[in-house]
Amino acid sequence: MNPAWRRIKIGIVGATFSVCAAAIFIRPLPPRQLPSPEPRELYTVVLDEVNALREADYPAAYRQVSLSMQERYNLDLFADWVRTERPEIVRTERVEFGPVQIEGTSAQVRAYFFLRHGGALAMQYHLIREEGRWKIHHSRMIRRWTSGQRLSGART
């Protein structure tokens, strides 16, 4: 066997072993997981939107919604939608929050709006983490109570 050929074989085998040895030590990093948000952080997003709607500051409220919602509604359509579909929110006396469910980059928050005339609304907000912050993806009304209806639960 030719000595040059032998060196080539040893070089190929050595290179293969060195690649395998390097693969043992060089591993892909596990995906970075964001810490689970505090419920207060999610409540702030909803409250910021409610406060903006109370002041009729539709551009500020529009900044609280996700990009997919902004693709569906431009600012004028969004303002019209809020005025027709969620007129009670601007007449809220206070907001209380219920359970929070968080799964990765999405979260659900239940909010109870107590109206000035005595009624109440229960809303479910679906939030997503987008561009490094939480935004409202969509919301839906769960239940409406009139001023004469009693809400269940205990007050402490």
Give the pLDDT of the chain (156 residues) as one tens digit per residue: 688 888 888 888 888 888 877 777 777 766 666 677 888 999 999 999 999 988 989 999 999 999 988 998 899 999 998 888 888 888 888 899 998 999 988 999 999 999 888 889 899 999 999 988 999 999 999 988 877 666 665 554
The enclosing domain of 89 has a CATH number of 3.10.450.50
pTM passes above 0.85: no
- Smallest CA-to-CA distance from 58 within 88, 31, 41, 79 is with 79
**Residue 1 domain flag:** no
What's the domain range around 78? Answer: 39-145
**Residue 94 domain flag:** yes
Overall number of domains in the chain: 1
**Residue 55 domain flag:** yes
CA dist 139 and 62 (Å) reads: 14
